[in-house]
């Protein structure tokens, strides 16, 4: 479905991604994780076309999309949920969800969608998507709008950011529903173990390179063991 070939990206003299090659299959649920600064969000933005790699190729369903724009990639069925949600002055929550779905939705339909991400529908459905909403509220609304697009590849960049614990539990249920009922693949950038539990595969990035790909036990166990080893060696070196 999606193939990245030797993706490199440098910013202000620092190499963020270093020859990243990756193949993602259809109808799978992936989580990309790793330490801060490992290149996770940059990789997601390159897939969507928000950032442009310095070198390397991107193939989507065997089509070279390396030089396609964001709109062109969206038209092919790729969706993206930002870590920092976009605001839309003058557009209501109901309008935004309907626009994202590209079909007519009743207010009852939208209410059911909002309930899934933990929002009281009567309070939100007619509100504008603007500064009157908190960061967590905007995040949940954006996740709702992305979830109804029925995309073939959906990317969520740290969807848990700014969301309270109760809403996070609702978010997990939404992702379970997406995994079960959506014909498409999902990529989530996350550090949360509850999201790891849903994944078919976890991709561990470190220092701009893919460190490991596998299930939760393999990848997280490997990461934690290396972290413990590094901490131990640091203690020895400081003695």
Q: Of 77, 78, 76, 119, which Cα lies nearest the Cα of 97?
A: 119
User: Are 74 and 104 contacting, i.e. CB atoms less than 8 angstroms apart?
Assistant: no
Q: Give 9: exposed, middle or buried? Use CB within 10 Å, 0-12, 13-18, 19+.
A: buried
Please tell me the distance from the alpha carbon of residue 214 to that of residue 202, in angstroms, as a whole number.
5
Please tell me the distance from the alpha carbon of residue 229 to that of residue 96, in angstroms, as a whole number.
48
Where b means 16+ CB within 10 Å and e means fewer, 119-149 reads: bebeebbeebbeeebeebbbbbbbbbbbbbb
User: Are 59 and 5 contacting, i.e. CB atoms less than 8 angstroms apart?
Assistant: yes
If DSSP codes are grouped into helix, strand and coil, which group holds residue 17?
strand
H/E element, 105: none
List, by residue number, the catalytic residues.
158
């Amino acid at each position: 479905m999606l193939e990245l070939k030797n993706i490199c990206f440098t910013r202000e003299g620092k190499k963020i991604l270093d020859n990243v090659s990756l193949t993602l299959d259809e109808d799978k649920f992936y989580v990309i994780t790793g330490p801060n600064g490992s290149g996770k969000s940059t990789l997601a933005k390159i897939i969507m076309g928000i950032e442009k790699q310095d070198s390397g190729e991107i193939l989507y369903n065997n089509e070279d999309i390396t030089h396609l724009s964001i709109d062109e990639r969206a038209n092919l069925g790729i969706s993206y949920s930002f870590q920092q949600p976009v605001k839309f002055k003058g557009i209501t929550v109901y309008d935004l969800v309907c626009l994202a779905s590209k079909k007519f939705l009743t207010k009852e339909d939208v209410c059911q969608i909002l309930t899934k991400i933990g929002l009281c529908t009567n309070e939100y459905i007619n509100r504008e998507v603007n500064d009157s909403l908190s960061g967590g509220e905007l995040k949940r609304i954006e996740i709702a709008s992305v979830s109804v697009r029925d995309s073939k590849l959906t990317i969520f960049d740290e969807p848990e950011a700014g969301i309270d614990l109760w809403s996070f539990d609702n978010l997990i249920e939404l992702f379970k529903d997406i995994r079960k009922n959506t014909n498409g693949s999902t990529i989530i950038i996350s550090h949360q173990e509850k999201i790891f539990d849903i994944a078919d595969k976890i991709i561990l990035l470190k220092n701009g390179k893919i460190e490991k790909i596998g299930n939760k036990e393999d990848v997280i166990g490997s990461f934690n063991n290396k972290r413990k080893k590094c901490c131990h060696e640091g203690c020895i070196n400081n003695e």
